[in-house]
Structure 1
Amino acid sequence: MYVEFHHRSEILHRTLREVEGIEVVVRDLATGPETPLRLTAAVTGDGCGRFHALVAEDPSVGELKLLEDGDLRRLYWIEAVPGTTDQRAYEAAIDSGGVYLQSRWDGEGWYTTMNYPDQECFRDYRQRIDDAGMEIEPTVVRVGRYLLSGGAFNLTEKQEAVLLEAIEGGYFEVPRGSTLGQIADRLSISEQAASERLRRAMESLARAAVTNTAEEGLVVDD
């Protein structure tokens, strides 16, 4: 099953609290019996410089490496300090059969996407992270779905339905196989509602694609 949930994090908390105008996406997490949580984070937006000025002094950061430097996009390798709640939560996820996909900072907290073998495994994870001291708020649960990428955050079931109908109806083909009005009729919604859901869905997909593209092809020498 595929799940998205909202939560808060100790890692980067002070830095993110003081910086506006950025988007942060974490796509890689790892830890071990003798190593703290390690992650790769892509930071984009007007606040990149401010983030860079503060992150090295963040009390949650044990070690930091700048992998890619740009005016509006920077890529970091971060090792957190040992023993954070996030590390215990990640270990609980692995123990419960979870597969981490991606996390995105939304200005107030984090949206994280993960896969689990089934509902029982996810329930086990929720019990484990409760014991670890982290609270989560599930926002999307797709039983029977197992995605292989981070997906698009905040893509609701209604937005997903419009996208699916648009694809199956040939809306994106040249020439178009259907109109927005026809999509709306098939879903029994107004054309305005169909247009708004489709635009929001496409924005989420575009943001995810741009972030993923920024991280693909990166070569880091040892």
Structure 2
Amino acid sequence: MGTIVEAQVPAAEFALGDTVSTVPAASFETVRTVTSGMDQPLPFLWAAAPEFDRLDDAMRDDDSTAEVTRLVRDGKHALYAVRWQARVRGLVQLIADEDGTLLDARLHDDTWKLRVLFPEKAAMSSFYDCCRGYGVDIDVNRVNGLESVVRHGGTRLSAEQYEALSEALDADYYGVPRGSTLVELSDRLDVSHQAVSERLRRAHQALIESSLHDGLTPDEPHP
């Protein structure tokens, strides 16, 4: 079964570590492309920064980049074409070696947050072990089965959280005034009301994080 992994890697061990040290307010996200080839991974980045001339210099001086070109600027955002040094290509190649697909990569506060699709959990485990073997300090934050992601509308909810939200909507729990109580929801779900409350809180948090992650805010690099 396919697995989507959310992991994080220090910028200093992947890409643009020098840049974010020089321009700490800068943030980046990759531009999704159909294919770029393993020799040219992550070819385009949206960046947000207070001073782009300074950011240009920092990116070009960064030891993870081989070539950097600013393509366009739109207010507080700019699009860059980047050719990477071998160590960046190497980590992406480790993903490809396990038949993985890098779905998304974002850099903020000295840390890259990655979302990777693997065909099965064994491939994810092998990738993790390889990273550790090469001295890359990768941390796995979340693992979701692909079936679960598809079944629950692409959200990052567990099956229990999705069920709790669905029941809450059906029971008009979010109505004003409320059409049901936590106790009534717990009866419908056959779990304690404390468990329902916890599932709803975590579901709300996951939905908010997902919305902020994929949405557009002034602090994010996407224009």
**Taking structure 2 as the reference length, what is the TM-score of the superposition?**
0.69
Q: Is the 8 A contact 1:7 1:111 kept in 2?
A: yes
State how 1:44-55 maps to structure 2 within 5 Å: 44-46=48-50, 48=52, 50-55=54-59
Which of 141, 144, 148 lines up with 1:142 in the alignment? 144
Matches within 5 A, 1:71-150: 71-81=75-85, 83-84=86-87, 86-145=88-147
Compared CA separation, residues 44 and 164, structure 1 to 2 (3 A): farther
CA 10–197 in structure 1, closer or farther in 2 if over 3 Å, else same: same
Name 1:205's counterpart in structure 2: 211
SS of the equivalent of 1:135 reads coil
Secondary structure of the residue that 1:97 maps to in structure 2? coil
Measure, in 2, the Cα distance between the counterparts of 1:68 and 1:196.
39
In structure 1, what is the equivalent of residue 47 of structure 2? 43
The whole-number CA distance in structure 2 between the counterparts of 1:24 and 1:183 is: 43
Q: Give the partner amino acid of 2:43.
A: L
Q: TM-score, length-normalised on structure 1?
A: 0.69
* Counterpart secondary structure, 2:216: helix
Instruction: Specify whether residues 191 and 122 from structure 1 end up closer, same or farther in structure 2 by C-alpha distance, changes over 3 A only.
Output: closer
Which residue, 60, 63, 71 being the options, matches 1:67? Answer: 71
Name 1:219's counterpart in structure 2.
Answer: none
Contact 2:31–2:42 under 8 Å retained in 1: no
Change in CA separation of 1:183 and 1:37 when aligned onto 2, cut-off 3 Å: farther
Asked if the contact 2:46–2:77 (Cα under 8 Å) also holds between the matched residues in 1, the reply is: yes
State whether residues 3 and 114 of structure 1, in contact with CA within 8 Å, keep that contact through their aligned partners in structure 2.
yes
Percent identity for Structure 1 against Structure 2: 13
Q: Tell me, in whole angstroms, the C-alpha distance in 2 between the residues paired with 1:213 and 1:168.
A: 36
Greater RCO structure (CA 8 Å; 6+ sep): 2
**SS of equivalent to 1:69:** strand
Determine the C-alpha separation between the residues in 2 that align with 1:108 and 1:38.
18
Which amino acid in structure 2 is aligned with residue 23 of structure 1? Answer: S
Q: Give, in whole Å, the separation in 2 of the partners of 1:73 and 1:89.
A: 26
Does the 8 A contact of 2:49 with 2:76 survive in 1?
yes
String of CA shifts for 1:12-49, please: whole Å, max 9, x gaps: 110012223333112448444xx354432111254555
Shift of 1:95: 1.3
Distance 2:181 2:142 in 1: 24
CA contact (8 A) 1:98 1:117 kept: yes
Q: Where does the alignment leave 5 or more consecutive residues of structure 2 unmatched?
A: 187-192
Distance 2:114 2:123 in 1: 17
* Alignment gaps of 5+ in structure 1: 216-222
Residue 179, structure 1, aligned to residue 174, structure 2:
yes
For the pair shown, which has the larger CA radius of gyration, 1 or 2?
A: 2
Q: Given the superposition, is the C-alpha separation of residues 48 and 194 from structure 1 closer, same or farther in structure 2, using an over 3 Å criterion?
A: farther
Contact 2:30 2:106 in 1 (8 A): yes
After superposition, the Cα gap between the structure-2 partners of 1:203 and 1:129, relative to the gap in structure 1 and judged at 3 Å, is: closer
1:65 deviates by 2.1
Offset of residue 106 of structure 1: 2.9
What CA RMSD, in Å, does the superposition of the two structures yield over aligned residues?
A: 3.9
Q: Aligned pair count?
A: 201
